[in-house]
Chain A
């Protein structure tokens, strides 16, 4: 739907919003029980095995921003890899042994002219095989709603200011296609090796809500 049409749609679904801070502890207990009940039932029925669940948990725990930082640092230090990464993200990260599990990866490069940030307005699609599970704010109604309409205001809430003459481009992910931001390599990191560079590439930099800081 076009942005200008949205203002006319009644925001009726906000009426029922349950503010997380208003929920009592009992409700979290409810979902803990639900998760355990589902696992027990599916295992007993032979639908899934405990090993299959464990493998999923282990894979989940093996994913995290360090993988993304490795990709970015490699791109900063290897021009040919960077070209492949921007051309076909899925194939390029596969070279590093990072699977996209059937999804397409699109890597968007920050330049002095363009700053990129990513969102998933429709759900919370996120490059999980690279960055791990998304942070709470990425899944929040506030971020999903506002990132596409007032990205600079959202960036300010993360303490990030983008110069007025730089275009801010927001990429809306979907179930089949995930984005990763390739930040600009900061000034003053000329002599740094890939490992040291990876140390300044945070999750938020790769979502595009922060910039790498080489001053620390």
Chain B
């Protein structure tokens, strides 16, 4: 069976040669993955597998959004942080930003 990431040769639309700069949060995700790899807590192939295993609605997102989703899955799998913890912290940060505290 051909899986979602194996897209070579599939029909698709034109390429947009424009390339906006990478957003700071996307760099932060990349740096976090890099630091975890450096510490041997995660390998490039584990990250690749987590990306390939994403549900299609997540896999089809923007590249770094896909990375963020795959990273959260791997963190949970490795017992480093759960989805609930991450969601909870996101709410907390949002409140912090809104409350200005």
Chain A facing B: main interface SS: helix
Residues in chain B near residue A154, CB distance under 8 A: 15
CB distance from B98 to the nearest CB of A (A): 11
Quick one: which of B74-101 are within 8 Å of A by CB? 75, 80-81, 85-86, 89-90, 92-94
Instruction: Tell me if A13 and B89 are in contact (CB < 8 A).
Output: no
Instruction: Tell me if B64 and A31 are in contact (CB < 8 A).
Output: yes
Which of these, A16, A28, A144, contacts B8 with CB under 8 Å?
A144
Interface residues on chain B, size class: 35 or more
A17 at the interface (CB under 8 A from B): yes
Residues in chain B near residue A18, CB distance under 8 A: 57, 60-61
Residues in chain B near residue A165, CB distance under 8 A: none
Beyond A6-B9, A41-B85, A145-B8, whether A60 also contacts B60 by CB under 8 A is no
A88-96, A121-129, A192-200 - the one binding chain B: A121-129
Q: Using an 8 Å CB-CB cutoff, how does the interface string of B7-37 with A read, 1 for contact, 0 for none?
A: 1111111111111101101111111101110
Instruction: Tell me if A148 and B32 are in contact (CB < 8 A).
Output: no
